[in-house]
Structure 1
Amino acid sequence: MKKLPILLAGLTMLGSAHATVYQFDFTAKIQEMVEFSPLTFTGGAVASSTLSGSLVSVGDNITGHFSYDTETGLFSSAGGSAMYAAPAAQNSLDASIGGNSIGLSDTTYSSTNVQVANNATMLGGADGFGIANVSANAFASQMMALSFFDKSGQIFNASAMPGELDFSGFNQSSFYYTYSSTATHAMMGANGALTSITVTEVPVPVPEPETYAMLLAGLMALGWKARRR
């Protein structure tokens, strides 16, 4: 009977060390667009743009998906706002127009970061949650971002990475998209408002590798004690 507590301890460790990844689908509508050329210092508001290689227009409907990993490490923190980023974290953000992805292909760099603001100074005491993907390839760089704000500052009690969020508590939301050509540095920017957001299935937490190692060590210890008897 002395074997049982050891085995139960191993199983407890197996269930306790894990990351939780929350996933969401969203839709948004582009409300404003601009184009600008730093070479000619010309640009301004536009109704549409083909700079990215496909047509993007005011009024286009965006469909997308994002996820955030609660175990993402803290990257920076100041004034009630914290940035979370880590290469191995399961944070993602992608979007499409008319079924065509607006994400870059063959990327040489891609990073998705999460920002949590609790009574942030830079937001006038508001709370906020944001997720952004910055990527680049040989031809361009771009950013996609979603931002949510609560002017009352009641959503968060701390700037720690949150658990599952109820986005109905935020009173303002935005979608941003920028694209910049590597060759000409010409830039296109679009922004709009979210029209819907839904929670998709939260996957079953996957134990971390070190947890498997601890459990294996526990089982080996059981076997060794049994052989001695």
Structure 2
Amino acid sequence: MKKLPILLAGMTLFGSAQATVYQFDFTAKIQEMVEFSPQTFSGGAVASSSLSGSTVSVGDQLTGHFSYDTATGVFSHFGGSTMYSAPAAQNSLDASIGGASISLGNANYSSTNVQVANNSAALGGADSFGIANVSANAYASQMMAVSFFDKSGLALSASTMPDQLDFASFGQSSFYYTYSSNATHAMMGANGALTSVTVTPMPAPVPEPETYVMLLAGLAALAWKTRRR
């Protein structure tokens, strides 16, 4: 797959001094799709699918957003790859086609995890960065993921949560989406390549109420000192 056309050296910061949340917008194009029914043991490549309730087709252009929180705790280690996951962490991933979200509605379970691999033995010494959301409700379960891969192993210097990622240094980038019905266990899957990633612009942070209190107290002290002169 082609390298992303946009070099990312910027970052978006909000939250406390201990936590940095990086946020990005992306675009992608679906290149392959499959469907499978375990009830009839049939399936294979398809041009489109409406199993999830909305039609998804090869060639569709997606727009999406993801963020990752550097304060997220370590969930597991394996083969040079580290998984980061925490319920309160500000990690997120969502995507839409034609303005319609493909995220699972009314989810009673949702978890977004980040995986970082530096010179991973399981990947033949390659680097990778990925973020995935798994969700479920009474009717279905769903997974979507964005993944970046660098065969040379030079994109990352550690398996810690990265700062100022340069996504253009990864040779491959992919988007994955799967949907499974709870009633029939029928499944559909789609994957494609990312076509752009850009830093999400954020508004200037609004001062906390405590900041205003301190400011007013300072102004009052200055006024009192001026009156005493």
Q: Shared fold (TM-score greater than 0.5)? A: yes
> Runs of 5+ in structure 2 lacking a partner?
1-14, 211-229
Provide the residue aligned with 2:52 in structure 1.
52
Q: Provide the C-alpha distance between the structure 2 equivalents of 1:124 and 1:80, rounded to a whole number of angstroms.
A: 10
Count of residues paired in the alignment? 195
Q: Where do residues 1-229 of structure 1 align in structure 2 (5 Å cutoff)? A: 17-201=17-201
Residue 204 of structure 1: how far off its partner (Å)? 7.1
Q: Provide the C-alpha distance between the structure 2 equivalents of 1:23 and 1:116, rounded to a whole number of angstroms.
A: 17
Q: Normalising to structure 1: TM-score of the pair? A: 0.81
Q: Which amino acid aligns with 1:121?
A: A
Q: Provide the C-alpha distance between the structure 2 equivalents of 1:120 and 1:205, rounded to a whole number of angstroms.
A: 38
Q: Provide the C-alpha distance between the structure 2 equivalents of 1:202 and 1:72, rounded to a whole number of angstroms.
A: 21
Q: Which amino acid aligns with 1:175?
A: F
Deviations 1:18-43 (A, max 9, x none): 21100000000000000000111100
Structure 2 counterpart SS, 1:168: helix
Q: Which amino acid aligns with 1:122?
A: A
Q: Which amino acid aligns with 1:33?
A: M
Structure 1 counterpart SS, 2:122: helix
Q: Structure 1 residues 160, 203: closer, same or farther in 2, change over 3 A?
A: farther
Q: Structure 1 residues 179, 139: closer, same or farther in 2, change over 3 A?
A: same
Q: Which amino acid aligns with 1:65?
A: H
Q: Percent same amino acid at aligned positions?
A: 79
Structure 2 counterpart SS, 1:90: coil
Structure 1 counterpart SS, 2:168: helix
Q: Which amino acid aligns with 2:133?
A: N
Structure 1 runs (4+) deviating above 6 angstroms are 203-206
Q: Provide the C-alpha distance between the structure 2 equivalents of 1:40 and 1:185, rounded to a whole number of angstroms.
A: 11
Structure 2 counterpart SS, 1:116: strand
Residue 201 of structure 1: how far off its partner (Å)? 2.9
Residue 157 of structure 1: how far off its partner (Å)? 1.6
Deviations 1:117-156 (A, max 9, x none): 0011111110000000000001100000000011100011
Residue 70 of structure 1: how far off its partner (Å)? 0.5
Q: Provide the C-alpha distance between the structure 2 equivalents of 1:163 and 1:179, rounded to a whole number of angstroms.
A: 32
> Runs of 5+ in structure 1 lacking a partner?
1-14, 207-211, 213-229
> Cα RMSD over matched residues?
2.0
Q: Which has the higher helix share?
A: 1
Deviations 1:24-75 (A, max 9, x none): 0000000000000011110000000000001100000000000000000000
Q: Provide the C-alpha distance between the structure 2 equivalents of 1:45 and 1:166, rounded to a whole number of angstroms.
A: 34
